[in-house]
Structure 1
Amino acid sequence: MKSLTFCLLLSWLVSACVPSTTSSTSGISLPQRNEMQPSRINGISLTASPAPMESVAFDSLKQVHANYVCLLPFAFMRSNEPKIYFNSKHQWWGERPEGVAACIAMAHHAGMKVMVKPQIWMHDHFTGDIQFRDEAQWKEFEENYTAYIFSLLHISDSMKADMFCLGTELDSFVKIRPQYWEHLIDTVRSIYSGKLTYAENWDCYHDFPFWQKLDYIGINAYFPLSDEATPTTESLKSGWKKYCEPMQELSVKTGRQILFTEFGYRSIDYCARQPWNAYDSSPKNYEAQRNAYESLFSTCWNESWFAGGFSWKWFDERTEPDVSFETDYTPQGKPAASVLRSWYAKSVN
């Protein structure tokens, strides 16, 4: 991607994509980015809001002792078509540049750090399997992905977001186009002064070849732990054992800590069997979710190779939850929130 097209695109994006800070950020004085990271990243993934948020939305995050918030400005694709749709007037406010900028400002004003995590959504396809039939389509996709990333990178840098995630669950893209990824990382590093990571799926994070170029090894930690409907915390801790050693070994090898860029469980029976399965129709089970949270914290949180993570996920409390809220991943209003609060309180700065 050392072509003139890339250079012109980068120049245009850096000069043109100035975020709009509307009334939501009025009167807020942004602090300078603090390069010191917390002893543990007590993170929450905040679902993008359909309408402009108020700063009070961050109060509930502070109540569980979160010190980091992850913003999720999604883009959208159709299966194996190279076009990426982002920054559309049809998207939610929290996914558009003005919403991202306002949320960074509000989080900083609340004393929290921010990670911006671009993520592609495909309705009927897994992003880790993205492939194209010829070089022309790959080039078009790469140009579109670059435009998406740099539109958010400029906002992140100008608003002093503390961390930027270069992508989410793009295994095939990375394996097939490693030169693009190496150049992308190097270019971003030369522009952005915050921390960098990439979020890879739990089953292939070890295949990502560029961890040493980043600051954290990002893992979406949906490890299968148990086939029981309501597993005990102790049985779940046993399930973690086979996953912890490889993570520790990679951390030692690369000199980078493990960061769970996503972790969480739905509040249903068998929640730890396939934690990534958002479509499981099993009945509500708050105890199973609580036990799964407790096992993760008691197994990983105090390890020297572990940096922390981002609970998936949290909603603006003014947003009307849909019918799936009771069985969704969010710990809000459920016993798992007490587990989150207790562990985050132990490591809050």
Structure 2
Amino acid sequence: MVGAQWGDDTGMEERVERQGTSRRGLLRMGAGLAGIGLLPGCAGAAGTGPWRGVNLVATPEAPLGSDACGRSLRNLRALGANAVALIPFLWQPAPGDPAIVPGDAVGPADLRAGIRQARGLGLRVMVKPHVWVPQTWAGAIGFTDPADQAEWLRRYRAILLDLAELAAAEGAEALAIGTELRGVSADPAWGGIIDAVRDRYGGIVTYVAHWDGELARLSFRDRLDVAAISLYPPLGDGTDLEAAIAALAGDLSRQGPLWVGELGLRSAVGAQERPWESAEERDAHPDGGLQARVLDLWLAALTRHGMDDVLVWRWFSDPDAGGPQDTDFTIQGKPAEAVLRRHFQN
């Protein structure tokens, strides 16, 4: 899962300096105008108002930009969604190994095609990179050697700046500079990373913090246009889901302006106890009703507290994904689709 297509920072600073401030100004202006539909090809983009949509994960049988992906996005649009997060995966071999590289599943050409396709269907787009670490997750990334952390941040910065330039050029309305990187998000280097991103990208800049306390530890929250959170807190044994979710939503509403960058759980028996748990971690019988009920309660509670910007986890580019016997996070072909339709079309 390697590739030189992203993050080659050889001569990057020199290239940017030669291009000058006029290049940076054009990128900012281009992204801003695209976001309000004033650039050619952008008239179909969704307008103002809350972001209501999903995180879309590309599958090999339905790459971004393909006819199959187009059908999947049209199905999503029919539910009333107006936004989608497109996810380029990055990869590193272990949590303490700084050798982060781009994954090979969604390259620049695929991402460009996906942004154009989604925006052409009237969906706002967030470019939202995730780091894939074998046998664990992005929140496990951390370093005992400061030199290793500095090297990781240097590599990550180079990849992110390439993504920022691509997002600006294609008119993506938002860019997440990271997702659940709780082991490195306190590093002061993020201030410089955000400055460099803003030199290349003029849209909404956010970061998706882990639900369990990362938001309070962010070293750079005040540098973002809006902070976001991934929302998978445990909900107990399920005997009083409504009360548990109402209390959590109330707590979130007291943490300032906030987007929900991820919200979901599996369509599986017992999924409310550990909503972050994947199908690979635990076998379980399907329970689409539980998934639908939890999402319904969350969306209603968040709306009551004025938190209307929500991207559900997840939706696949394959229009045939999911279904009643599937026990993963996708909501496709499950009762949760009707829940989204009811909330998103209000």
Q: Which TM-score band (shorter chain)?
A: 0.7 to 0.9
Determine the C-alpha separation between the residues in 2 that align with 1:155 and 1:121.
21
Q: Which residue is equivalent to 1:191?
A: 200
The answer to whether residue 12 in structure 2 is matched with residue 9 in structure 1 is: yes
Structure 1 residues 101 and 13: CA distance shift in structure 2, 3 A: farther
- How far 1:239 moved relative to its partner? 0.4
- How far 1:180 moved relative to its partner? 0.7
Q: Which residue is equivalent to 1:244?
A: 249
Q: Which residue is equivalent to 2:294?
A: 292
Q: Which residue is equivalent to 1:44?
A: 54
Aligned residue runs from structure 1 range 114-263, under 5 A: 114-175=125-186, 177=187, 179-204=188-213, 205-228=215-238, 235-251=240-256, 257-263=257-263
Q: Which residue is equivalent to 1:271?
A: 271
- How far 1:86 moved relative to its partner? 0.8
Letter in 2 for 1:329: F
Aligned residue runs from structure 1 range 315-330, under 5 A: 315-318=316-319, 321=321, 326-330=326-330
Q: Which runs of 4+ in 1 moved over 6 A?
A: 322-325
- How far 1:153 moved relative to its partner? 0.9
Conserved in 1, the CA contact under 8 Å of 2:260 and 2:309?
yes
Letter in 2 for 1:243: L
Q: Secondary structure of the equivalent of 2:236?
A: coil
Determine the C-alpha separation between the residues in 2 that align with 1:187 and 1:72.
21
Q: Secondary structure of the equivalent of 2:122?
A: coil
Supply the RMSD in Å over aligned alpha carbons. 2.7
- How far 1:32 moved relative to its partner? 7.2
Unaligned runs of 5+ in 1: 16-27, 252-256
Determine the C-alpha separation between the residues in 2 that align with 1:334 and 1:323.
6
Determine the C-alpha separation between the residues in 2 that align with 1:316 and 1:258.
27
Conserved in 2, the CA contact under 8 Å of 1:216 and 1:258?
yes
- How far 1:244 moved relative to its partner? 2.6
Conserved in 1, the CA contact under 8 Å of 2:324 and 2:334?
no
The answer to whether residue 41 in structure 2 is matched with residue 30 in structure 1 is: yes
- How far 1:13 moved relative to its partner? 8.0
Q: What is the percent sequence identity of the aligned residues?
A: 25
- After superposition, give the CA deviation of every residue in 1:22-74 in whole Å (9 maximum; x if it has no partner): xxxxxx9531798x963221111111232352233321111111100100100
- How far 1:121 moved relative to its partner? 0.5
Which of 87, 90, 98 lines up with 1:82 in the alignment? 98
Determine the C-alpha separation between the residues in 2 that align with 1:148 and 1:247.
31
Letter in 2 for 1:200: A
- After superposition, give the CA deviation of every residue in 1:150-198 in whole Å (9 maximum; x if it has no partner): 12111101101000000011111012x2x21111112222331100110
Letter in 2 for 1:39: G
Determine the C-alpha separation between the residues in 2 that align with 1:272 and 1:195.
32
Letter in 2 for 1:152: L
Structure 1 residues 111 and 265: CA distance shift in structure 2, 3 A: same
Conserved in 2, the CA contact under 8 Å of 1:32 and 1:160?
no
Conserved in 2, the CA contact under 8 Å of 1:13 and 1:147?
no
Conserved in 2, the CA contact under 8 Å of 1:115 and 1:163?
yes
Conserved in 2, the CA contact under 8 Å of 1:258 and 1:307?
no
Q: Which residue is equivalent to 2:334?
A: 334
Letter in 1 for 2:99: K
Determine the C-alpha separation between the residues in 1 that align with 2:312 and 2:16.
31
Letter in 2 for 1:149: L
How many correspondences in the alignment? 310
Determine the C-alpha separation between the residues in 1 that align with 2:322 and 2:299.
28
Letter in 2 for 1:9: M
Q: Secondary structure of the equivalent of 1:327?
A: coil
